């Protein structure tokens, strides 16, 4: 098959998630964890091909980002004390809304419940209007239905008012944006209860998604499993800056597991309780977010779904270069734009289908209040568009909160070429009076005063001037505090500064590796049109779990030395391979291999014994060529690691007329 | 310096742990996690050089074991439900003994407390006898003392009876082997209480070392963070066997974090609460533990500390080949021996000092009751000999307990070339009678009977014959159960079997990566005799965090294009490098670099601008050679990745007379 023919073949048979999952589980790409013990939802193990695929993706990630950009990789602990995650906001805000059924003890995730019930009612309406034959027979296979543990077991054909249909559709379009109380109101309004019994549920309660544990034997030190790798990077900022000789911009990076105690996990590998993340924190001057290498990526064309398009109710992406996107102000700055382009390049390299990739800008209500801009790389799968990479400008939020909490400065000191005059309010404390007056509270009062912002100082200066005293409250000290000008002096002063101090902003590309991997599985999967039972996973050779299947034509003892010889060379070259000497037909072995996504087959036959030649088969086109062992391995290496095409890599090899693939 | 001179120089200055740790922390190899928040003992973060060193060690491990032996790598979840770890024995047995001081609230680890107090008394005795000047001034630096949080703050010079000294020494030699109650008796006998207040402590209580958490929103599903990666591999045995086309022997492997809630962590990176493990489970026929590749390793000489030598009170290792060790029966079998040799090769490859490595056999009381044999690779550090790799023959224990618990068979089916006649007892149940008699308990009773061993069946057969009935008890059912021969029939039958079914045994090499890394840090560290303030970390190039330091002689703009050119080539070749254009003297930059363990320095000077030549410096010998950029990079690649020596790799390059190293 030619390149064009392969392309056509890949889209000839309709995608079936059921077929894909049957292969992924059958070939042990992954499996539900602890299924011997009945399984635990949201936990999956990767078997050998899945694990190897994951390792290859991580390896490409490390080279594409860390090595290419000289990032500083760190490996921080997953166990995290309460105090850190309290400061970061996770203790208070990292939660979903859940509703309990007090009769049955069932627990529902509120937004998912509203979504499923309204979707089911809309489908029932469609059936009642005669627009679908049977609303229960939707596109998902039985296996999927069972796995997703649908709350709505049976859809009833009930016609709705036109206005109600419209209302439901509006709610569904905004389902990700509702607060808990709002979800509670919707459930009240639309009479949404337990979908099986119809009973009313308790109003939505916030459920924190972090796994809690106790550190040490006393049980006193409360900790969590980290919900992201980012906090460890922020906490090490000062050490990283020093390691980088005090220079910015620079980036740290971390690859590791994070945890999320989902209320009711669904959608297979896409929503799990333990997952691999790869995160970058790029620290940059807030006054200069240009990027020196932006020119190298500016002409890359991407699909954007910016905020205004979404507000207009459209999902039609704008296709433009990242250069245009930044210069028009749609993407906030060059550094953010640079990473968006690099994310794109990475995803394409590991096998994401370009036509199923878009960058969606966060709506104002989705974005954390401190974020300057945020774009998600979304990948289209049979579950819809899935957020797989976030790319946010988090401003100076994280460093600031940790610095405020710990009273440890986290700043960059930039030596100024030309010193500048700076005018600002300063406060002087007559410290010897504080001790006698406040005793043990003195440090708290002093800290409060020295941490006042310029605006606050200005107000206090005026207060002191007008009233001869200032009045304020300090957290943890009862009552108001009054101080006169014997205690404090606030003045506007002009000074010459030689060093500029600033808290850097953070651009954070954050990758959910498991979601990306599952999406690549879907994007790579197809069935051969000539035999639709035959599935193929067309992974790029670079990330394929195994690069070569070594196939001796038979178990004849004469072939064994050649198999051993090729094995030895492949092992020395560190090209991952497997030998299949199972004795079933070549066609069956190739078919098995296509399911594992192995790009190359090397066949050893009786001619190999005579002249050391072997046959090389390409997975997608099933094309075969013949050559010496050395030349064949060189072709494999060039195509796998050096970006050479099959045509180019095999041009000096002899085309080989293959046996039937389906024998 | 010649190779011999380097060797001498490396041992000229006495090792100082304090100096090493100051470099490791100063250069951010690692740091206490969350130190901005006061730190959490037993948790450490790896900074860029530590993280990179760890990644390189893991990469070598993966190639040395997984790729070389075609092992099946899996990635299983850390969150593990209660039931699994109850079955494996961890819920009941994975604990240390702790003692509380009810007055102060302090918690002590019982064995460590007894050890420290007796050691302190022995030191005090030494001082009282005039054998040491000041027992408080021991070999450890102040920083170490502080960090280890010694319980015994001040040693008193008190002379002991000779017989007491002997008793203490005997106790210390066996300190790892005492049970909790025994430790309690020792504390009673020797009057060991809180070392500061002298108050009595509560008797030792078992403290389970697993971190506990709850999975899901109901809080009902109790889980733990895994204490080892092994269980995930055992639970996936059937899938792995199928993936391997039903063939044994084969091995699975897993690299990932495990957790241990230490009572009071000490000894820095050697005893931590979250750590990276790499574990192999090699599944093998219990009747044939030979290994096809044993011949390749049999002549490797190792230091062994077998059980009988230890029992004789000696620590003098036997040096012999692994071939002799296995043939003499000292090491139980070839497969265990093969892995011991491969462990040795791996450790040497990543920089372990051969003279500080021994294999110590577990004493009978250290070993789990099911284990057939167990050897630890121990590395000598300033903390003593540290267990870094365990290599155990765990027999069929793990698969058997999970299989018994879940009633899922976990066996290998081997087709027999010649069918065999097998005579064994079989039990027939008249199932239709069980339901009416036992109702809901019927499955339990049936399972009990069908799971009886051959010995038990023989006994029951005799009982049935003699008494016409059998009497037994079943877990979870009250009272005795009586069944006559209408319910059961037990007979000895002879059958021809075509398939042999067996539970494979498991050989388990288990690596504590963090401990190995810290030991390599110690083994690699030395101070230059000519300037003892200069520390060097002589990592093998293969695992060094960064391979090349790129040093432009000055910040002159003419040098920038050459720096960019060399950078581009190194990046393309994926050789990790850093540019140091900080402008301090070359000598200072090299010194900084020696502390980071970077094996090569490439210096760019004004001659480079003229003829594209650069200088290559070797870290340990400080030797320098000159050549073209291409030749220098080729030398770096050959020495780093292809096992070529410095002499061989640079023989065609021109020796270069260096500037002073200490300018």
Residue A620 φ/ψ region, left for φ over 0, alpha for ψ in the -120 to 50 degree band, beta for the rest: alpha
Structure tokens at B360: 């110590």
Q: Regarding beta strands A488-502 and B221-225, do their DSSP bridges make them parallel or antiparallel, or are they unpaired?
A: unpaired
B67·A27 Cβ contact <8 A: no
Please state, in angstroms and as integers, the Cα–Cα distance from residue B512 to each residue in A531, B229, B257, following that order. Answer: 49, 11, 10
Which residues of chain B make contact with A261, given a CB cutoff of 8 A? 215-217
Q: Which residue of B has its CA nearest to A75?
A: B46
Among B512, B509, B511, B502, CA closest to B251: B509
Query: Residue A213 has what pLDDT?
Result: 96
Lookup result for tokens 């207009």: A312
Which residues of chain A make contact with B574, given a CB cutoff of 8 A? 63, 67
In whole angstroms, what is the distance from residue A648 CA to residue B184 CA? 75
pLDDT category of residue B440 using cuts at 50, 70 and 90: confident
In whole angstroms, what is the distance from residue A352 CA to residue A349 CA? 7
Summarize pLDDT for A318-364 with one digit per residue, the tens: 999 999 999 999 999 999 999 999 999 999 999 999 999 999 999 87
In whole angstroms, what is the distance from residue B523 CA to residue B388 CA? 14
Task: Give the mean model confidence (pLDDT) for residues B3-8.
Answer: 89
What's A544-567 look like in SS3?
CCCCEEEEECCCCHHHHHHHHHHH
Cross-chain CB nearest to A81 (options B37, B73, B582): B37
Q: Regarding beta strands B469-472 and B481-484, do their DSSP bridges make them parallel or antiparallel, or are they unpaired?
A: antiparallel
CA distance B571 to chain A (A): 7
Cross-chain CB nearest to A46 (options B54, B75, B98): B75
Q: Which residue of B has its CA nearest to A399?
A: B36
Cross-chain CB nearest to B79 (options A31, A43, A232): A43
- Mutate which of B85, B107, B213 to test chain A, going by most A C-beta atoms within 10 A? B213
pLDDT category of residue B662 using cuts at 50, 70 and 90: very low
CA distance B154 to chain A (A): 26
In whole angstroms, what is the distance from residue B387 CA to residue B380 CA? 9
Task: Give the mean model confidence (pLDDT) for residues B452-471.
Answer: 91
Opening angle at CA A321, ends A320 and A326, nearest 5: 105
Q: Percent of chain B at pLDDT above 90?
A: 73
- Mutate which of B25, B48, B58 to test chain A, going by most A C-beta atoms within 10 A? B48
A211·B207 Cβ contact <8 A: no
Q: Which residue of B has its CA nearest to A592?
A: B243
Q: Regarding beta strands A548-552 and A577-579, do their DSSP bridges make them parallel or antiparallel, or are they unpaired?
A: parallel
Walk along chain A (663 residues) in steps of 10 and give the mean pLDDT of each run: 88 94 96 95 96 96 93 97 95 91 89 91 89 64 45 80 90 83 94 90 93 90 96 98 94 97 87 96 96 97 94 89 97 97 98 97 80 93 95 94 93 92 91 88 86 89 92 88 92 92 96 98 96 95 97 91 95 91 87 96 94 95 95 96 94 80 47
Which residues of chain A make contact with B201, given a CB cutoff of 8 A? none
Q: What is the mean pLDDT of chain A?
A: 91
- Decide: residue A652, CB within 10 A, 0-12 exposed, 13-18 middle, 19+ buried: exposed
CB pairs under 8 A between A and B: 191
- Per DSSP, the residues of B632-661 read HHHHHHHHHHS---HHHHTTTSEE-PPPPT
CA distance B34 to chain A (A): 7
Q: Which residue of B has its CA nearest to A403?
A: B36
In whole angstroms, what is the distance from residue A230 CA to residue A401 CA? 14
A80·B34 Cβ contact <8 A: yes
Query: Residue A145 has what pLDDT?
Result: 42
Which residues of chain B make contact with A415, given a CB cutoff of 8 A? none
Which residues of chain B make contact with A79, given a CB cutoff of 8 A? 40, 43, 211, 259, 273-274
Query: Residue B545 has what pLDDT?
Result: 96
Is the model more confident about B659 or about A107? Answer: A107
Q: Which residue of A has its CA nearest to B254?
A: A51
CA B445 from chain centre, in angstroms, equals 43
Is the model more confident about B584 or about A34? Answer: A34
Cross-chain CB nearest to B45 (options A77, A81, A578): A77
Query: Residue A663 has what pLDDT?
Result: 43
Among B273, B212, B254, B261, CA closest to B80: B212
| Sheet with B212-215: strands ordered across | B79-81, B221-225, B212-215
Which residues of chain B make contact with A217, given a CB cutoff of 8 A? 98, 107, 207, 261, 263-264
Cross-chain CB nearest to B98 (options A217, A259, A576): A217
A77·B27 Cβ contact <8 A: no
Query: Residue A581 has what pLDDT?
Result: 83
The contacts of residue A376 (CB under 8 Å, 6+ apart) are: A359, A360, A362, A387, A388, A389, A390, A391
B70·A27 Cβ contact <8 A: no
B213·A235 Cβ contact <8 A: no
Q: Which residue of B has its CA nearest to A224?
A: B213
Which residues of chain B make contact with A273, given a CB cutoff of 8 A? 79, 215
In whole angstroms, what is the distance from residue B592 CA to residue B581 CA? 13
Distance separating the N- and C-terminal Cα atoms of chain B? 18
In whole angstroms, what is the distance from residue A398 CA to residue A406 CA? 12
CA distance B96 to chain A (A): 10
Query: Residue A178 has what pLDDT?
Result: 87
B273·A215 Cβ contact <8 A: yes
- Mutate which of A30, A32, A45 to test chain B, going by most B C-beta atoms within 10 A? A45
Q: Which residue of B has its CA nearest to A29?
A: B74
In whole angstroms, what is the distance from residue B81 CA to residue A37 CA? 9
The conformation of residue A177, written as its DSSP 8-state character, comes to G
A33·B77 Cβ contact <8 A: yes
Structure tokens at A13: 């048979």
Query: Residue B594 has what pLDDT?
Result: 96
**H-helix or E-strand spanning residue B112:** helix B110-128
The contacts of residue A478 (CB under 8 Å, 6+ apart) are: none
Cross-chain CB nearest to A54 (options B41, B70, B75): B75
Contact A231, A277 (CB under 8 A): no
Report whether pLDDT(B144) > 50.
no
Report whether pLDDT(B152) > 80.
no
Cross-chain CB nearest to B37 (options A83, A107, A216): A83
Cross-chain CB nearest to B43 (options A52, A72, A77): A77
Contact B167, B122 (CB under 8 A): no
Tally of CB atoms within 10 A around B5? 11
Report whether pLDDT(B661) > 60.
no
B216·A261 Cβ contact <8 A: yes
CA distance B574 to chain A (A): 8
Q: Where are the alpha helices (DSSP H) in A411-535?
A: 431-438, 442-450, 454-467, 513-524
Residues pairing with A422 in the sheet: A495
Which residues of chain A make contact with B36, given a CB cutoff of 8 A? 235, 402, 406, 408
CA distance A275 to chain B (A): 9
- Mutate which of A40, A62, A588 to test chain B, going by most B C-beta atoms within 10 A? A40
Cross-chain CB nearest to B46 (options A74, A107, A212): A74
A36·B235 Cβ contact <8 A: yes
Query: Residue A141 has what pLDDT?
Result: 43
Q: Which residue of A has its CA nearest to B39?
A: A81
- Per DSSP, the residues of A338-388 read HHHHHHHHHHHHTT--GGGEEEEEPPTTTS-TT-SEEEEEEEEETTEEEEE
Look at the pTM and tell me if it is higher than 0.80.
Answer: yes
Report whether pLDDT(B367) > 50.
yes
- Residues shown for chain A: 663
Cross-chain CB nearest to A73 (options B52, B221, B232): B52
Report whether pLDDT(B146) > 50.
no
The contacts of residue B206 (CB under 8 Å, 6+ apart) are: B95, B96, B97, B180
Query: Residue B117 has what pLDDT?
Result: 92
CA distance B427 to chain A (A): 27
Which residues of chain A make contact with B223, given a CB cutoff of 8 A? 40
- Mutate which of B47, B94, B109 to test chain A, going by most A C-beta atoms within 10 A? B47
Contact B609, B559 (CB under 8 A): yes
Query: Residue B478 has what pLDDT?
Result: 87
Q: What share of chain A is helix, strand, coil (3-state, %, to 5)?
A: 40, 25, 35
């Amino acid at each position: 098959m030619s390149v064009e023919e392969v392309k056509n073949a890949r889209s000839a048979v309709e995608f079936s998630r059921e077929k894909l999952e049957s292969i992924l589980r059958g070939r042990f790409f992954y499996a539900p964890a602890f299924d011997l013990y009945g399984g635990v939802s949201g936990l999956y193990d990767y078997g050998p091909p899945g694990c190897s695929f994951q390792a290859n993706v991580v390896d490409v990630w490390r080279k594409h980002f860390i090595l290419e950009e000289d990032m500083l990789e760190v490996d921080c602990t997953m166990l995290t004390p309460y105090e850190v995650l309290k400061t970061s906001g996770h203790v208070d805000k990292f939660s979903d809304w859940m509703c309990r059924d007090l009769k049955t003890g069932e627990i529902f995730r509120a937004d998912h419940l509203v979504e499923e019930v309204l979707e089911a009612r809309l489908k029932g309406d469609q059936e009642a209007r005669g627009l679908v034959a049977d609303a229960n027979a939707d596109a998902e296979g039985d296996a999927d239905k069972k796995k997703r543990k649908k709350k709505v077991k049976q859809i009833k054909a009930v016609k709705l008012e036109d206005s109600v249909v419209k209302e439901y559709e509006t709610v569904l379009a905004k389902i990700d944006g509702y607060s808990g109380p709002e979800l509670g109101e919707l459930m009240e309004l639309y009479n949404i209860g337990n979908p099986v019994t119809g009973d009313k549920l308790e109003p939505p309660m916030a459920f924190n998604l972090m796994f809690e544990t106790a550190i040490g034997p006393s049980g006193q030190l409360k900790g969590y499993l980290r919900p992201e790798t980012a906090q460890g990077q922020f906490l090490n900022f000062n050490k990283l800056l020093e390691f980088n000789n005090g220079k910015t911009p620079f980036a740290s990076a971390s690859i590791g597991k994070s945890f999320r105690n989902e209320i009711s996990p669904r959608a297979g590998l896409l929503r799990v309780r333990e997952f691999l993340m790869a995160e970058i924190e790029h620290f940059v001057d807030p006054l200069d977010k240009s990027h020196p290498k932006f020119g190298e990526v500016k002409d890359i064309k991407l699909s954007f779904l910016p905020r205004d398009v979404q507000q207009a109710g459209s999902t039609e992406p704008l296709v433009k270069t990242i250069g245009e996107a930044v210069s028009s102000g749609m993407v906030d700055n060059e550094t953010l734009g640079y990473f968006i382009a690099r994310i794109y390049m990475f995803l394409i390299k590991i096998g994401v289908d370009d036509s199923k990739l878009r960058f969606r800008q966060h709506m104002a209500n989705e974005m954390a209040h401190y974020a300057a801009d945020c774009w998600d790389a979304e990948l289209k799968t049979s579950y819809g568009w899935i957020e797989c990479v976030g790319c946010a400008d988090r401003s100076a939020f994280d460093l600031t909160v940790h610095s405020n909490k710990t009273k440890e400065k986290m700043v960059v000191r930039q030596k100024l070429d030309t010193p500048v005059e700076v005018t600002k309010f300063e406060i002087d404390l007559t410290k010897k009076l504080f001790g006698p007056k406040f005793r043990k509270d003195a440090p708290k009062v002093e800290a409060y005063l020295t941490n006042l912002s310029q605006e606050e100082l200005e107000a206090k200066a005026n207060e002191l001037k007008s009233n001869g005293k200032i009045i304020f409250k300090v957290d943890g000290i009862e009552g108001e505090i009054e101080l006169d000008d014997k205690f404090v002096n606030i003045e506007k002063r002009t000074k010459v500064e030689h060093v500029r101090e600033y808290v850097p902003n953070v651009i954070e590309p954050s990758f959910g590796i498991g979601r990306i991997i599952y999406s690549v599985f879907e994007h790579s999967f197809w069935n051969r049109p000539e035999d639709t039972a035959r599935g193929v996973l067309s992974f790029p050779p670079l990330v394929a779990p195994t690069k070569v299947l070594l196939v001796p034509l038979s178990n004849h003892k004469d072939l064994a030395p050649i198999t051993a010889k090729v094995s030895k060379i492949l092992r020395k070259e560190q090209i991952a391979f497997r030998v299949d000497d199972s004795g079933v037909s070549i066609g069956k072995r190739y078919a098995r291999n296509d399911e594992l996504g192995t790009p190359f087959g090397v066949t050893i036959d009786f001619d190999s014994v005579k002249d050391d030649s072997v046959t090389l088969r390409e997975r997608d086109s099933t094309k075969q060529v013949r050559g010496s062992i050395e030349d064949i391995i060189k072709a494999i290496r060039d195509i796998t690691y050096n970006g050479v095409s099959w045509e180019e890599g095999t041009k000096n090899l002899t085309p080989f007329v293959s046996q039937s693939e389906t024998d």
